[in-house]
Structure 1
């Protein structure tokens, strides 16, 4: 999470949407930087509003506009699957090293999910509190040019992004049956992505 007080902007870090690269590029420019623990670095809209936004309301009588990035849902799960298949995760309960992507997505659809597939939900990340305003600027991960243009204009600076947290390449094919089931069961994830800029 990055907060730019003068610009009244909070950049929330949706997991697996390139947030680490933006943190590295902008941490020296931000007024408030949260890099850990993960439940604070990746605080969803509701948690940000309840704790962080409240500070600005009570102490400074102002609010930050919220921006965040959302990734196409199958691609997002693919990123989690690849990330958890790294050699250093072998033997860990979160490891996907010995699974196919199809098996991973099927596990994601279970209730409860096994540990290795319990990676949250982008649509849940954007849920608001009953009195919360929600995210003002939501960008699609694949539209990096729009994200950069927005931030460079808002922050009045040139941003040099470096690729970080690169995961191993894996086969991300799904059977038609699994893809249909995922799209039906998790339609809210696709609606969330479709609504972004």
Structure 2
């Protein structure tokens, strides 16, 4: 999570959406950089609302803009699958070395997810709080120019973005049946992504 007090801007860090690269590029300009532990770095809207918003509004002021990035849901799951294939994950209960991407997504669709598929939900991460706290602007991971343009204008700067924390490349395929189950079971993920201008 990045906080820019002069720009009255908070950048939430949705996992697997490239936010580490933005953190590296923009940390020198930020008033606050929450990079550790992961539970705070990747604070979802409800955690931001409960723990961060009251203090930030007290010292910076109300009506802060809160932005975030969302990734196309199948691509997002693919990134998690590939991330959990890295060599140091071998032998861990959440590793995906001996699984197909289809099996990983099938696990994600279960009511009780197995450890390897317990990766959360972008829609839940971004869900507005009951008091109205919400992401005021959402960007697509697949459209970095829109976010870069917004940040450069808002922060009155230019910056270079470098890829970081990237999962190993590999071709992934999903059967039509598994994709249909994913889209039915997690329709809110696809609906939220489709709603981004």
Report the TM range for the smaller structure's normalisation.
Answer: over 0.9
Aligned residue number for residue 10 of structure 2: 10
Return the TM-score normalized by structure 2: 0.97
**1:194 to 2:180 alignment:** no
User: Which deviates further from its counterpart, 50-59 or 114-123?
Assistant: 50-59
Distance 1:63 1:32 in 2: 18
Return the TM-score normalized by structure 1: 0.97
**1:70 to 2:80 alignment:** no
Q: Deviations over 1:133-178 (max 9, x none)?
A: 3011100111100010000000011111111112112331011100
1:1-197 mapped onto 2 (5 Å cutoff)? 1-197=1-197
User: Which deviates further from its counterpart, 8-17 or 124-133?
Assistant: 124-133
Would you say the 8 A contact 1:49–1:132 is kept in 2? no
Q: What residue ranges of structure 2 are gaps of 5+ in the alignment? A: none
Distance 2:147 2:94 in 1: 31
Q: What residue ranges of structure 1 are gaps of 5+ in the alignment? A: none
Distance 1:74 1:57 in 2: 36
Distance 1:21 1:61 in 2: 28
CA distance 1:24–1:61, change in 2 (3 Å): closer
Q: Deviations over 1:2-46 (max 9, x none)?
A: 000010000000000001000100111100100011110000011
Distance 1:37 1:64 in 2: 23
Distance 1:170 1:154 in 2: 36
Give the drift of 1:64: 1.9
Give the drift of 1:60: 4.4
- Runs of 4 or more, structure 1, over 3 Å off, are 58-61
| Aligned-partner SS, 1:27 | helix
Distance 2:64 2:2 in 1: 11
